[in-house]
Structure 1
């Protein structure tokens, strides 16, 4: 064995197999202990990732690094353990599609799902009859989180995003955000390959589906807390700016370095937490879609159970509190699902035209974003929509829906080089912009005292620019 590699293996062994390991874990605030654990993390990285044919670390090593992330009392330790876990997750995926990494996959041999059954996972599903004392003991020893602990983590995120929590150099909020980010990466790494198979039997066994279907998970509460965190994150960004001004005007007391380092780390951690929360909601909605499709095709079983789609919960929350609409849509950026949220919200309040007779194929209205824009073509329809939703909410929905539709069209145009299709999309884009401007003209003519919001002005400027470029 290479002497350099042998040195790191010995370093790992010194930590993993020492009798007083848990005692050392409790001594994180000692600088000597911090230095020792940083050396341990470096050794794990060197022995696991630095070599081309390195083997997956043992479950004990994974669990130890995970415990460092959850209980470390040093900013350096927390950040280093999080980065190591994320890198290990990417380097040693528990689930992947065979041939997905090949440079020239064969079209005649479809990819197969490969699952490392014995691989360590940060989320564990115990039997429901496990005693509370047993669960507590597992958590004390650094075991993976169970569904109730995962939900508790999101509840804590929803309750700690306040400026005062950080003035005292409290590392727990940042620690929880980094822990959540890692868990979402693990869920995503397990779910996306399964979802790509379009096979419900594979999707049923995903960590995400088992997490949401667990009796320890309060599903509706989980989705609502996810929305709450997303909305708070946008406000918290403003609080961080205020905190920056506060630190400039008044030098903080000791520990000065710890506060400064924490403050420097917060903006990026908050941003990434927001992205992770959005990814979680997108995965849940994607799972709901797959389950609905499987149910229609007769592939579901009684054990799959039933639950309210996340989309319905999101729409109910937005309708219940209109103040949440601008905050949520500002942060939620994934075009496909953002457009779906906007469209379904609009059609909840738009009066549906009368349906055709039984001999016809369906209704006379187009339940898409284009169809919603057409409902603003006359003052009567526009006045009714404003009365039900309010002018500001309508503006937010139309502007965000327009932005999402633009993003989708741009993405389609990027991957399609056929001249005919590109010309068709250019015409569709121009029509969309014309309809969007007409909808706002109808809003202004119906409500002359309405003030166009900044996001509405931005969207109108974009639409006018697109039309002028085509002409």
Structure 2
């Protein structure tokens, strides 16, 4: 199909977009849903299927997004969500150009590209519809906060009376917005690391979201942590408590909407992954901002924000019931290991570098090796156990060991470049040290009972040592 013909089709579709939007707002009949499905299929046929498809207009983008935000059928929600992601991959708003002859990259920002956020708009999404749903009006950063608050209610099991498509829709909306933030942030951060041009990240959607006056940053981050730790267990409770018992997956009851049940389970898991991506992006932004600040590239207009790492550590410290769920759900090994190391450093009265004579470099202080060295003698082990319970020490050590193993595997398989983290200690050395740490716990407290996760870590370490002996 010629480009002019494709553009003509896009123009014709755009003329019907306002009618689609009005139908989406006013009706919820099967005919209206059929029209919306047909519209989504037409956009896909014009923009995704052809090798040189034409990007949808802003009105068409808005129509697809509107269908996701108020759709009530499983087909509509999933189709609009998948189409938005396909469009973002095909027509990115922000991307890195091909490397030039000197190996450098440039950031390309498509200024006229559609965005679901109304940046700088005076229209606030500060009110909810009757029944607690987020308004379907313009989406500003306060809408993101309201969306997180609704997800907290689902995760905590509050205001959840039945399996509802609203919960699925909110999780899909959240996942899409995180994907949008990621698509905007990652290219900017790549070029920033090459150029140290802080303006690239200052103008990122993520930085503007966190620094917006409509965003209560600390409260938002605490809600995000709560969702991460509670979302999956909450979905199990919702399903088992409202007409769909756990064994209904084998024999679905007649009263149970089985497709919706499975969709909620899968989308709940993927929402946890999306939340982890969001938190990691924020921690990366914090590191980049700190680097820019040290070089005098930030201004008063950039404001001061508590690093997310500090908020995470404070929450895990003061709410230890959150610690185990967080470590089980948060799976990215590099950041997980860093969180555990920093947790230990909050409680070590002396630096790890002076715990043993071997640790004579300040660089060892903030490494897993440095933490393990603190368990190399009974005095330092006893000092740690006075401040951290034995069970929590075991939990932290075991999860940190799992993270280190994952990083070692990724590095050996070439999946990621973990050279910086892996170079200071071999896997064999870490295995010896983890066994030494657990033995030190036993010697210091003869009544200590090794937890299952600790036994698993010891067994894995011993297996690795026997294989490499």
TM (normalized to structure 2)? 0.87
1:336 & 1:134 partners in 2: Cα distance? 37
Moved over 6 A (4+): 2-8, 133-137, 163-167, 248-251, 424-427
Query: CA offset at residue 34 of structure 1?
Result: 1.2
CA separation of 1:246 and 1:10: change in aligned 2, threshold 3 A: farther
CA distance in 2, matches of 1:26, 1:150: 24
Deviation of 1:13 (Å): 4.3
1:173 aligned counterpart, secondary structure: helix
Total equivalences in the alignment: 448
Question: Closer, same or farther in 2 for the Cα pair 1:227/1:164, shift >3 Å?
Answer: closer
Following TM superposition, by how much is the alpha carbon of 1:123 offset from its aligned partner in structure 2, in angstroms?
Answer: 2.1
- Structure 2 Cα separation of the partners of residues 276 and 133 of structure 1: 23
Aligned to 2:166: 172
Kindly indicate whether the alpha-carbon contact (under 8 Å) linking 2:14 and 2:57 is maintained by their aligned counterparts in 1: no
Which residue matches 1:209? 207
* 2:328 alignment counterpart: 330
Instruction: Give how far 1:7 is off.
Output: 10
| Contact 1:378 1:442 survives alignment (8 Å) | yes
Residue 348 of structure 2 corresponds to: 350
Q: In 2, are the aligned partners of 1:8 and 1:44 still within 8 Å (CA)?
A: no
Residue equivalent to 2:357: none
Where does the alignment leave 5 or more consecutive residues of structure 1 unmatched? Answer: 100-104
Deviation at 1:239, TM superposition (A): 3.1
Structure 2 CA distance for partners of 1:380 and 1:141, relative to 1, 3 Å:
closer
Q: Displacement of 1:53 after TM fit?
A: 1.8
SS of aligned partner of 2:95: strand
8 Å contact from structure 1 (residues 82, 182) kept in 2: yes
User: Does the 8 Å CA contact 2:333/2:406 hold for their aligned counterparts?
Assistant: yes
Distance verdict in 2 for CA 1:289–1:63, change over 3 Å: same
Change (3 A) 1:163 1:305: closer
Q: How does 1:329-408 map to 2 (within 5 A)?
A: 329-353=327-351, 366-408=365-407
Correspondences of 1:66-465 after superposition (within 5 Å): 66-99=65-98, 105-127=99-121, 130=122, 142-143=137-138, 145-161=139-155, 168-197=162-191, 198=193, 199-236=197-234, 238-239=236-237, 242=240, 243-245=244-246, 247=248, 252=253, 256=256, 259-353=257-351, 366-415=365-414, 428-465=426-463
8 Å Cα contact 2:352-2:370 kept in structure 1 = no
**RMSD after superposition:** 3.2
Alpha-carbon contact 1:200-1:291 (below 8 Å) kept:
yes
Q: Using the TM superposition, name which of 443-452 and 287-296 deviates more.
A: 443-452
Could you tell me how far apart the structure 2 residues matched to 1:354 and 1:268 are?
Answer: 42
Structure-2 residue corresponding to 1:102: none
Q: Higher relative CO (CA 8 A, sep ≥ 6), structure 1 or 2?
A: 1
Q: Distance in 1 between matches of 2:328 and 2:89?
A: 30
SS in 1 for 2:108: strand
Does the CA contact (< 8 Å) of 2:352 and 2:374 recur in 1? no
Corresponding residue for residue 37 of structure 2: 38
Give the gaps of 5 or more residues in structure 2. Answer: 355-359
Q: Per the alignment, do residues 436 and 134 of structure 1 end up closer, same or farther by CA in structure 2, a change over 3 Å counting?
A: closer
8 Å CA contact retained: 1:161, 1:236: yes
Relative to structure 1, the CA distance from residue 425 to residue 341 in structure 2 (aligned partners, 3 Å threshold; closer, same or farther) is closer
Map of 2:17 onto structure 1: 16
